[in-house]
Amino acid sequence: MGHSDGDVLIHSIIDALLGACGSSDIGTLFPDNDDKYKGIDSKKLLTVVFEKFSKEGFEIINIDSTVIAEEPKLSPYIKNIRETIASLLKMPTQNVNVKAKTNEGMGFIGRKEGVASISVVLIKKT
């Protein structure tokens, strides 16, 4: 139901990268009132941010993300998700961590009305 493809994990990683390098946020860079981003694949947005990030002399050391959702169960897909993100960001898979948690029935996430993701990145200026 998001303006783009609604990939909360990738959006969370994008915001973490932008924040780590002192840049804007995903909504500023890719506004939801701009129709050119309507339904766009979030992997394309991540690639744009990664290219900008790299040109500014930043390198990603690692990423740690947590997806909080009752459904779908992500554990069968975690390996593939990590590999995809690592490939997009040209980094070793072991440096990309993705965890899945439930909200144990609490709040809007527990009622299966939404999903959340939190990401932290470690970067260095090259």
* Average model confidence (pLDDT) across the chain: 93
- Does residue 73 register a pLDDT over 80? yes
Q: Which amino acid is at 51?
A: E
Q: Is 69 helix (H, G, I), strand (E, B) or coil?
A: coil
How far does Cα 88 stand from its chain's mean position? 12
Q: Is 65 helix (H, G, I), strand (E, B) or coil?
A: strand
The number of beta carbons lying within 10 Å of the beta carbon of residue 53 is 22
pLDDT tens-digit readout, 17-36: 999 999 989 989 998 888 88
- Does residue 87 register a pLDDT over 70? yes
What is the arithmetic mean of pLDDT over 74-100?
97
- Does residue 1 register a pLDDT over 60? no
The pLDDT > 70 percentage for the chain reads 96
* Domains, the chain: 8-125 (3.30.1330.50)
8 A C-beta contact, residue 120 and residue 81: no
Say what the pTM is: 0.93
**Pairing relation of β-strands 116-125 and 58-68?**
antiparallel
Residue given tokens 């394309």 in the structure block: 44
Stated length of the chain: 126
CA angle, 40 as apex, 60 and 29 as ends, to 5°? 55
Q: Which pLDDT value is given to residue 83?
A: 98
Q: Which pLDDT value is given to residue 38?
A: 85
